[in-house]
Structure 1
Amino acid sequence: MDGTFSYVKVHIKPQLGIRNFDREAAKQVAGENPDYLVDDLYQAIAKGDYPKWNVYVQVMSPKQAEGYKWNIFDMTKVWPHKDVPLRQIGVLTLNKNPDNYFTDIEQAAFSPSTIVPGWAPSADPMLQARMFAYPDAARYRLGTNYQMLPTNHAKSPVHCPYQRDGFMNFTDNYNDQPNYVGSQLEPMTFKAGGAPCSRLSTLTEHEKWTGEVLSYTSSVTALDFEQATALWKVIGREHGHQERFISNVASSISGVTDRRLRSAVYQLFAHVDKDLGARIQEATKLDN
C-alpha cells in the first residue's frame, strides 16, 4: 500500500455479441411471451450451454483525470478506448439456475455500496445516488435486515456493529458489544490489508475539485454532442441500423402533441447530425 489509487470503469461484454429485436419483432414477442429472454437464458443454462461475459476495466490515474477534456464523472460520456484502453481481467459465467425463484431471485438485493476491500466509490453523482437508493429500496421491499437473508448475506465474516437491531434480526446482534468500533472497553484488532486512512484521505482531497457536483448542471455545450455524433456515424456502418433508429424515435415522437416540444426534439437531434434531425422530422411530418 503506497497510498496511490486509480479511477476504474468496469465493462461486461457478452461473448455471444449483441443482437436486438427490431420494433415490430419486439412487439410480437412482448405480446406472445413477455418472458422470452428469461426462458432463453434458463434453457441455455439447463442444457449446459453456459452464457459468458468478458470482464474489462479501464484504468485512469488521477493525473490523467485532472487534465482530461471533460469531467470523467459525467455519466453521459464514455472514456475513449484510444485514450484509456480496455484491459480484460476475467470472465463471468452463469452456470447454475436458481433452485427456488422466490429465495434466490425475488429476495435478492444488489447495491453498488456493497464493495470489497481495496475498492472505494468515486464522486460519480449517479453512483452516489444509487449507493443510497438501492439499499433503501431493498429495506422497503424486503425489510430492514434484508442483508441477513441467505441469498444476500456475506460469504466472509463481516464485523459491522453499527448495523444491528431491527425486525427479523436472527443473529446474536453483536451480543453486548458497543455499537461502534474503537471502544476502550471492548478493544479489538483487525488483520492487515485494509486501506489506510491516509489513502482514503488522498482520494477525498483529490475529488474535492475534480469531482465537484453542482446543484444545477443543465447547461449544454457542443462538447456534449461530440460522442453522440461519433456514435451516429458508427451506427451508419451497418446497413439498416440508422433507419431502425429513426423509426424507433419517430414512433415515440408521434405521440407528442406539443409543437414546441417537437421542435426542441428536432433541434436536439440536428445538433447531433443535421441529416439525422431532418430525417426524424420527415418521418413524423404527417403528424406535424
Structure 2
Amino acid sequence: MSNQKNNLTTSWGAPVGDNQNSMTAGSRGPTLIQDVHLLEKLAHFNRERVPERVVHAKGAGTHGYFEVTNDVTKYTKANFLSEVGKRTPLFVRFSTVAGENGSADSVRDPRGFAVKFYTEEGNYDLVGNNTPVFFIRDAIKFPDFIHTQKRHPQTHLKNPNAIWDFWSLSPESLHQVTILMSDRGIPATYRHMNGYGSHTFKWVNADGDGVWVKYHFKTAQGIKNLTEEVGTRIAGENPDYHTEDLFNAIENGDFPEWKVYVQIMPLKDANTYRFDPFDVTKVWSQKDYPLVEVGRMVLNRNPENYFAEVEQATFSPGTLVPGIDVSPDKMLQGRLFAYSDAHRYRVGANHQALPINRPRNEVKNYQRDGQMRFDNNGGSSVYYEPNSYGGPTEAPENKQAAFPVSGVADSVGYDHNDHYTQAGDLYRLMSNDERTRLIENIVNAMKPVKSDEIKLRQIGHFYKADPEYGTRIAEGLGLSVPQEVK
C-alpha cells in the first residue's frame, strides 16, 4: 500500500485522468455532458456553502473542557456534574447576532455564547448570550424582532427606524437595550466577556427533587470592552478581529477560562418572587439568590477545519440530559422547537450525526433515512418500536420530572409587566462616565430615526426607568420628555 500512487479521485473513489481540461467535441467544440468529473466539481462547488444562520451567522468556535469544582449533586443528577474533578469535553461557538457571515466582529450587538458538552449520557447544549436578559419574552415576537435587525426590503440597508419603532412598542426590551447601548455592548474580545444561559432551567436530583437555576460564566480574563469609536475603526481595519484574537490566543497557549456558577431558586419561590422568574427580560437579584460555584470551562484546542466544526456545529436548548429540564419561560419554549428546526433546514435532517455534533456515547434510536445519511442507516436492525426483537427501549428513570399545569388555554402574556425597575436600577448602578457614554450611544443610534413619534415614545420608556435617563436622551435628540409621561 505504501507504494500506491497518490491518485486524485472522484467522490466515488475513481481515479481522475485529467483535472486541467474539460472534455469537449474537439479543441473548440462545446463541452460534453458526459464529462462527469466536470459536472461533479461544478455541482459540488455550487453547494459548498450551506445557508448561513438566520441569526448568529458570524462566529468563531473552539474546543475545550469543563471541570467540576464543587459538589452540586444535591441539586442535579446530571452525570457530567456528578463528582468534583470530573472533566467533560466541549465545543463553544461565539458569535454576533444580527450581522451576516461577512459582517464585522466589533459591532454593537449581543454576542452568542453556545456551549456543547459531550457528556457520557449524550450531548448537552447551553445556548446563551453574553447578556443575562433578552429583548423580548415571548417567542411569537422573535421573527418580527429579527426582521427589524436585518435589512430593509427595498433599500437593502440597515433600518434604525424599524429597530426603534419595534423597541418603543415593546417596552420589555428596555433592560436589554440599556445593556446593549452601555459599555458592555462591544466586548473587546470573545475572551473578555461573560456568558449566560439567560433562561431559567430546572435541575432535578436523584430523588426527583427540583430547583430552578440560571447559569453564569464569569470570564477569568476580566471584562474588557471597546468604545464606539474604537469598535468602528476596528470594523474597518480588521472585521475578523474577534475571530483572529480567539484563534491566536489558543494557538499561543493562552487558554481562555471561565468560572461557571448557577443561581438556585427553590421551586416554590417562583410563585412569590417580585419578578416573574421565567421572564427572560428580567434577572434574579444575586442578593436573593447568590452565585453557587459549579466548575470551570477552559478552551484549549482550535478547530482543524472551520466549515466542518464551526459552520456545521448545531446547538439547541432542547438538547438536554437527565437531571436538566426546562422551565415555562415562553421564549425558551419556542426555542426548543425553532433551533433544531433551523438546523434541519440549514444543515440537514441528520445534522446530529455529523462529527462535530455527534455524541461521544452510542446513539440508539429508530430514526432512519433522510438527506446526508452517511452512516449505515441502522443496517438491517429493527426499525420500529415497540418490537419483539430486542431493540432499544425507553428508560423510565430518565423521564423528565413531572410538574403541575393549570389554567385556561388562551393567548396570554406574563402577569408581571414592570419593564422599568430593573433597567432603572442598572442605569443608577453606572458611574457618571458610564452614563454619559450610554447616553451618547443611544442618542447617536436614534438620530437616524425619521419619526419624532418613535423617538418620543422611546424617550418615555427611558424616563419611566429613571427621569435623568429619559431627560438626557431627550436633550441629546433636541426633544422634550412628553408631558403625559411626567
Q: TM-score, normalised by structure 1?
A: 0.87
* 2:330 maps to 1:125: yes
Work out the CA distance in 2 between the residues paired with 1:218 and 1:284: 33
Q: Report matched runs for 1:173-184 at 5 Å.
A: 173-174=377-378, 175-180=380-385, 183-184=386-387
Work out the CA distance in 1 between the residues paired with 2:409 and 2:294: 31
Q: Which amino acid aligns with 2:269?
A: Q
Work out the CA distance in 2 between the residues paired with 1:152 and 1:227: 38
The equivalent of 2:401 in structure 1 is 200
* 2:367 maps to 1:171: no
Give the CA deviation at 1:184. Answer: 4.7
The equivalent of 2:444 in structure 1 is 251
* 2:262 maps to 1:61: no
Provide the secondary structure at the position in 1 that maps to 2:322. coil
Post-superposition CA distance 1:87-112 (Å, at most 9, x none): 11011111011111111111111111
2:287 to 82, 85, 103: 82
Q: Report matched runs for 1:259-278 at 5 Å.
A: 259-278=452-471
Give the CA deviation at 1:3. Answer: 2.4
* 2:425 maps to 1:230: yes
* 2:360 maps to 1:155: yes
Work out the CA distance in 2 between the residues paired with 1:213 and 1:39: 50
Work out the CA distance in 2 between the residues paired with 1:243 and 1:214: 44
* Cα pair 2:382 2:391 within 8 Å, conserved: no
What are structure 1's unaligned runs of at least 5 residues?
A: none
Deviates more, 1:166-175 or 1:147-156: 166-175
Give the CA deviation at 1:213. Answer: 9.4
Provide the secondary structure at the position in 1 that maps to 2:359. coil
Give the CA deviation at 1:261. Answer: 1.1
2:411 to 211, 215, 233: 215
The equivalent of 2:388 in structure 1 is 185
Work out the CA distance in 2 between the residues paired with 1:61 and 1:24: 45
* Cα pair 2:365 2:392 within 8 Å, conserved: no
Provide the secondary structure at the position in 2 that maps to 1:177. coil
Greater fraction strand: 2
Q: Which amino acid aligns with 2:466?
A: D
The equivalent of 1:105 in structure 2 is 310
Residues 190 and 136 of structure 1, relative CA distance in 2, 3 Å threshold: closer
Q: Which amino acid aligns with 1:257?
A: K
Give the CA deviation at 1:247. Answer: 0.9
Larger radius of gyration: 2
Work out the CA distance in 2 between the residues paired with 1:86 and 1:153: 32
* 2:243 maps to 1:42: no
For the aligned residue pairs, the C-alpha RMSD in angstroms reads 2.6
Work out the CA distance in 2 between the residues paired with 1:127 and 1:213: 19
Work out the CA distance in 2 between the residues paired with 1:99 and 1:81: 40
Provide the secondary structure at the position in 1 that maps to 2:325. coil
Post-superposition CA distance 1:67-102 (Å, at most 9, x none): 212221000110110111111101111101111111
Greater fraction helix: 1
Work out the CA distance in 2 between the residues paired with 1:214 and 1:102: 43
The equivalent of 1:146 in structure 2 is 351
* Cα pair 1:117 1:194 within 8 Å, conserved: no
Residues 17 and 215 of structure 1, relative CA distance in 2, 3 Å threshold: farther
* Cα pair 2:255 2:300 within 8 Å, conserved: yes
Q: TM-score, normalised by structure 2?
A: 0.53
Q: Which amino acid aligns with 1:169?
A: R
Post-superposition CA distance 1:173-205 (Å, at most 9, x none): 33342433xx2523557797943x5x622x2x1
The equivalent of 2:96 in structure 1 is none
Work out the CA distance in 2 between the residues paired with 1:164 and 1:120: 27
Provide the secondary structure at the position in 2 that maps to 1:224. coil
* Cα pair 2:256 2:298 within 8 Å, conserved: yes
* Cα pair 2:276 2:416 within 8 Å, conserved: no
Aligned-pair identity (%): 38
Give the CA deviation at 1:254. Answer: 0.4
Q: Which runs of 4+ in 1 moved over 6 A?
A: 189-193
